[in-house]
Amino acid sequence: MPIESDDELRDILELDTVAVVGCSSTPGKDAHEIPKYLREHGYDVIPVNPFADEIFGRTVYDSLTDVDEEIDIVDVFRPSEEVSDIVDNAIERDDAGVVWTQLGIRDDEAAKRAEDAGKRVVQDHCMKVEHQRLVE
């Protein structure tokens, strides 16, 4: 079952490094503003987007499999129909212990695969909203 409890969410929000799949270079878009907020609150945000070269002054990776840095959380800003492949990429990584899909994004089958592989899963929740509610 995906994580819903405040204690578990708070525990996840204490992690440091977030790979944002679908991170946008366009100010004003949620996929830009939420990672920006996370950066401003101490998270190491790793942007993943095959259509951008640089976001927040950082090199952007084309895919999760290209990220050579350690990852704690995979934060997904892609449509629900793309979650399955992203989860498969997260499962291949030993470091990415959490898969988090933003508001309106869910794939229950992929979430089950991630959990079966030992990952913690948060679906259909905004990291910024949860951070503001539980941490700030």
Cα 18 to Cα 98, 101, 103, 109: the distances in Å are 9, 12, 16, 23
Q: How confident is the model at residue 1 (pLDDT cuts 50, 70, 90)?
A: confident
Under DSSP, is residue 133 helix (H, G, I), strand (E, B) or coil? helix
Q: What is the pLDDT of residue 84?
A: 98
Q: What is the pLDDT of residue 136?
A: 83
Q: How confident is the model at residue 80 (pLDDT cuts 50, 70, 90)?
A: very high
Q: What is the pLDDT of residue 18?
A: 98
Cα 2 to Cα 21, 53, 61, 91, 106: the distances in Å are 19, 33, 27, 16, 10
Q: Which residue has the tokens 């995906």?
A: 2
Question: In the CATH scheme, what is the homologous superfamily, with its name and number, of domain 6-134?
Answer: NAD(P)-binding Rossmann-like Domain (3.40.50.720)
* pLDDT tens-digit series, residues 14-60: 999 999 999 999 999 999 999 999 999 999 999 999 999 999 999 99
Q: Is the pLDDT of residue 132 over 90?
A: yes
Pairing of strands 17-21, 58-59: unpaired
Q: Are 76 and 22 in contact (CB under 8 A)?
A: yes
Bridge partners for 48 per DSSP: 21, 61
Under DSSP, is residue 65 helix (H, G, I), strand (E, B) or coil? helix
Q: Is the pTM of this model over 0.85?
A: yes
Q: Structure tokens of 101? A: 């899909």
